[in-house]
Amino acid sequence: MFQEFYDHCKKNDYWQQNQQILLAVSGGVDSMVLLELMQTAAQKDCLTLTVAHIDHRLRPESSVEADYLKQYCQKREITYYSKIWDEVDKTKNTEARARTIRYDFFAEIMKREEISLLLTAHHSDDQAETLLMKLTRGSTLSNLVGIRASQSFGSGTLIRPFLIFSKERLEQFAKQSKIVYFEDSSNQSDTYMRNRIRRQVVPLLKKENPKFLQHMADFSEQITLADEIIQSVIEPMYARWVSKTKTGWSIQLSELKQEKKSVQTFFLITLFQRTIVPKGVSISQSQSQQLLTMLDRPAPQLSMDIEQGWQVMKEYDTLFLEKKRSIHEDALFFLNEFEHVFLSKNEWLGLETVKEKIDPPEIVKNWTEFSLLISGQTALPLTIRHRKNGDRISLTPNLTKRLNRLFIDQKIPNLIRERAWIILSAEEEIIWVPKFANSYLSIPTETDKILYRLLYRIKE
């Protein structure tokens, strides 16, 4: 078995002569066989081995196993690192949290000791179990690649050289070589989904077809290659159409809407996988289909809620993906001369006279500025608030227009409309909508004396 293992590793250039390698060793049969084979490989290639072990303290016997492994490594002069998972409550999401603890520890050691290669003992049964779990729960194509033989990790690379072997093959070798290992009693419990699949499903499928594990490995490889092709198509589109914003992401739709449904589907999957899925947000198949339908609808503005407060908004030929923002209708500010106010963390408004300027705060001095000259006939204090239903603005002495209609004519997206500020005189007449509209009432007549200057600055 060693020669098959060694030839496989050398064929794939998993390590180089004189390299230092970190081995993740639990004490179970898989990792103890890996440790045995790697000691032989280390003699051939002058490798330096380091062992990392996590004592999860989920079983009474785990401390005994950790002590045995420590003594084993000391006897063979192998550097040994261990960590105890000492959280009090380990009852919720145990598998995922334990995995995070393990891999964070491995990454920490690699960085501290400048080790660029980590080996784990995942085998072909693990691969099959992982794929079945993902298929059962529902997963995107890119996630169905299963366990990768090689991938970037921490400050180096994670290698899984045992994916060519079955669990049974490893157990046979351990028995023949009289390797001491420990059985994890929790593997006999059906509490976890993986254990149920391992104990109840996989044996039936192996019995149905002795080549089941190989077929699953082949399937995983085909999915990996298919995903590479898909990403080669999607990647240039993603780079061209997706932009990061302060509050999320914006996506240009004009070209995307011309693509086939297959391209649209995988583009959206890639979009979510790179943006909000890492934040713990799940996207269902029905939501993806709903979004595809939204792209085809002629309505200029549509929105769809996702979980955890995220929202997708179609605004003409742009799609916005961001957290919902609560726009407070009761947000209200008042302004007299020489006063200024932060309307939000990115917006500032000040009122100065033409004779005497105000000194803006240092933080806003490089922000984009918009200004408006108004006459002394404008009654103070000015009122600043968000738009309300029925708001109208005077465009000429004889023409007023609903603000909502004005925004529609300018094709201003709903989200921006909701955030726009309305500035009114003390008589509650709109004089300015910064960035969007000046009221006729704000234009001084020939007999008016220009007295004030409104300054609106925004961090864009």
Tally Cβ neighbours within 10 Å of residue 266: 20
Q: 286-321: string of b/e by CB count within 10 Å (b at 16+)?
A: ebbeebeebbeeeeeebeeebeeebbbbbbeeebbb
Domain boundaries, given as residue ranges, for the chain: 2-220, 245-323, 332-458
The structure tokens 């030929």 sit at: 317
d(CA 211, CA 204): 12
Please give the structure tokens belonging to residue 210. 């002795």
What pLDDT, on a 0 to 100 scale, did the predictor assign at position 164? 94
Is residue 147 within 8 Å of residue 127, measured between CB atoms?
Answer: yes
What pLDDT, on a 0 to 100 scale, did the predictor assign at position 418? 82
Is residue 318 within 8 Å of residue 250, measured between CB atoms?
Answer: yes
CATH of 245-323, one of 1.10.3720.10, 3.90.25.10, 3.60.21.10, 3.30.465.60: 3.30.465.60
What pLDDT, on a 0 to 100 scale, did the predictor assign at position 158? 97
d(CA 288, CA 269): 8
d(CA 363, CA 350): 14
Q: Quickly name the fold that domain 2-220 has.
A: Rossmann fold (3.40.50)
Sorted by sequence, the CB contacts under 8 Å of residue 317 that are 6+ apart come out as: 252, 253, 254, 257
What pLDDT, on a 0 to 100 scale, did the predictor assign at position 90? 63
Averaged pLDDT, groups of 10, the chain, 460 residues long: 95 95 95 96 96 86 89 94 80 80 94 96 94 85 83 93 95 95 76 86 93 92 91 95 91 93 93 90 83 83 82 87 66 88 90 89 91 86 90 87 89 83 92 88 64 90
Cα–Cα distances in Å, from 23 out to 110, 169, 173, 432, 434? 11, 20, 19, 67, 61
Amino acid identity for residue 6 in this structure: Y
φ, ψ dihedrals at 61, nearest 5°: -85, -5
Q: What angle do CA 389, 313, 258 make, to 5 degrees?
A: 130
* Cα distance from N-terminal residue to C-terminal residue, the chain: 63
